[in-house]
Amino acid sequence: MYSVVHGNRKQATDVQEFISLLDNLSAHPLAQGLFDPAPDLIVSRAPGRLDVMGGIADYSGSHVLELPIAEATFAAVQLNEQRQLNIVTLLYEEPYHSSFTMPLSVFDGPIDYEKAREFFQLEDAGGWASYVAGVFLVLMREQQANFASGANILISSRVPLGKGVSSSAALEVAVMEAVAAAYDIKVEAREKALLCQKVENMVVGAPCGVMDQMTAVFGERDRLLLMLCQPAELKGTIAVPSQLRLWGIDSGIRHSVGGADYGSVRAGAFMGARIIADLKTDFSKYLASISPAEFESEYLAQLPKRVSGTAFLERYRGTMDPVTTVDPHKDYAIRLPTAHPIYENARVQRFVELLKKGGAFEELGELMYESHQSYTALGLNSGGTDLLVELVRKAGPAAGLFGAKITGGGSGGTVAVLGNETSATAVEGVASAYAKETGHQPYIFNGSSNGSQSFGTLRLSLSHR
């Protein structure tokens, strides 16, 4: 049986569940023999997040408002002498149980990120393993870490995959926290989040912003994390007013930040930013730094609705973003992707202003509906998320529901819902109506928990009793 020899296990309700899993690994064929009896385990925990406002505007420097959810990912790390990574994931459902083994010598040099992506693309199960093993390469390249020992790693997660609540960031942050502690690598908390973003951008190859990783690190239970993504400036937390509740309802449509729609919209925004940089001498590189009024008076009419990749590259050569690729064989929307973060940033700032004043719940909800409509104009909506938003709007304030919007990168995933303290029944009603119409019974996200910085790490020792 494992016992805690260092750290506070009482600060999260799911800790004992994870320790019980460790005590019963013999019941899981993939995990049998993963850990040696003697060396201690280092355990970390990082939550997923509900994107309340801000979403994809993060990569354009917007303010964002994020709520850490109750569902979290755990990582247990034990050093081994073989200089090998032995990784097992036991997620919430058996189809997502996997194992992966690789020698750390693959990363020696250290190799560049492109070679690492190629390695994981060729390996069975390499896609998911890159989120875990990528932490080691990023620490080698960015922190000059020297891994003389390998690691046995167990991942367990209640953050559902593909539902737009940032399962990937929860995984990266949990692993980063445990690995840094196990190898005694000193990394400041904000830097950990930025390094985790680099894992996803450079090793996995998904061009995400940084709000997810920052929330997984700095989130506080029942408080909205306010951040300015230029690139990752914490602006504090805001308590959710006692009369309000935030929920997430899963559409059942799988979301992926690496999807073509997200990538095209992101590229269009950075292409628009590059065009504006030629027009605005003091451009900060962040679209969200432009006000809606300035955008409408100075730049809107000068942006093309669409442009071919070839024409753009011939004139501008590329964008100012190192992880955004412009395909010369594609046409890109420019005006709408450029406008979205400018107006979204203004919506987030108004949302914060209203929260701090208290009241005005219907106006808060309207801002969420406006955000969802902007996603829709970009083509990042889906039939399922549109239906959920429609059902929330139909129930309305009379049922205690004020607003709803698609979350994160869009194109499926979860809808964030704003209600009051009486809205639980109405949320269940929306989920039931959705299930009746689509055949999918939605998962409802309810509750919040602290980020990895607050949790810290646990050191577990195997007691022989």
Q: What are the pLDDT digits (tens) for 215-225?
A: 999 999 999 99
Residue 130 lies in a domain: yes
pLDDT digits (tens, 9 = 90+) for 395-428: 999 999 999 999 988 888 999 999 999 999 999 9
Helix (H) or strand (E) holding 239: strand 233-239
pLDDT of residue 465: 44
Which domain range does residue 88 map to?
2-50+69-240+450-462
pLDDT digits (tens, 9 = 90+) for 208-257: 889 999 999 999 999 999 999 999 999 999 999 999 999 999 999 976 55
pLDDT of residue 20: 94
Instruction: Give mean pLDDT, residues 283-304.
Output: 96
Residue 358: how many other CB atoms lie within 10 Å:
11
Instruction: Give mean pLDDT, residues 27-54.
Output: 95
Residue 216 lies in a domain: yes
Task: Name residues whose C-beta falls within 8 Å of residue 202's C-beta, 6 or more positions apart in sequence.
Answer: 113, 116, 117, 134, 138, 323
pLDDT class of 9 with cuts at 50, 70, 90 = low
Residue 232 lies in a domain: yes
pLDDT of residue 348: 98
pLDDT of residue 459: 96
Residue 228 lies in a domain: yes
- Return the exposure string of 181-201: e unless at least 16 CB atoms fall within 10 Å of the residue's CB, then b: bbbebebeebebbbbbbbbbb
Please state, in angstroms and rounded to a whole number, the distance separating the CA atoms of residues 80 and 148: 10
Instruction: Give mean pLDDT, residues 268-273.
Output: 97
How far is CA 209 from its chain centroid? 8
pLDDT class of 358 with cuts at 50, 70, 90 = confident
Average pLDDT, the chain: 94
| DSSP tag of 193 | H
pLDDT digits (tens, 9 = 90+) for 67-122: 999 999 999 999 999 999 999 999 866 567 899 999 999 999 999 999 999 999 88
pLDDT class of 123 with cuts at 50, 70, 90 = confident
Q: Evaluate if residue 156 carries a pLDDT over 90.
A: yes
> What is the value of pTM for the model shown?
0.93
Residue 322 lies in a domain: no
Residue 345 lies in a domain: no
Residue 309 lies in a domain: no
pLDDT class of 48 with cuts at 50, 70, 90 = very high
Task: Name residues whose C-beta falls within 8 Å of residue 258's C-beta, 6 or more positions apart in sequence.
Answer: 204, 205, 206, 207
Residue 96 lies in a domain: yes
pLDDT class of 16 with cuts at 50, 70, 90 = very high
| DSSP tag of 342 | H
Q: Looking at per-residue confidence, does 258 or 111 come out higher? A: 111
Q: Which two tokens stand for residue 251?
A: 């559409």
- Give the active site residues: 212
How far is CA 450 from its chain centroid? 15
Beta carbons of 92 and 160 less than 8 angstroms apart: yes
State the total domains in the chain: 1
Angle formed by the axes of helices 361-378 and 383-395, nearest 10°: 160
Q: Evaluate if residue 62 carries a pLDDT over 60.
A: yes
Helix (H) or strand (E) holding 247: strand 244-250
Query: Which CATH number do you get for residue 84?
Result: 3.30.230.10
pLDDT of residue 260: 53
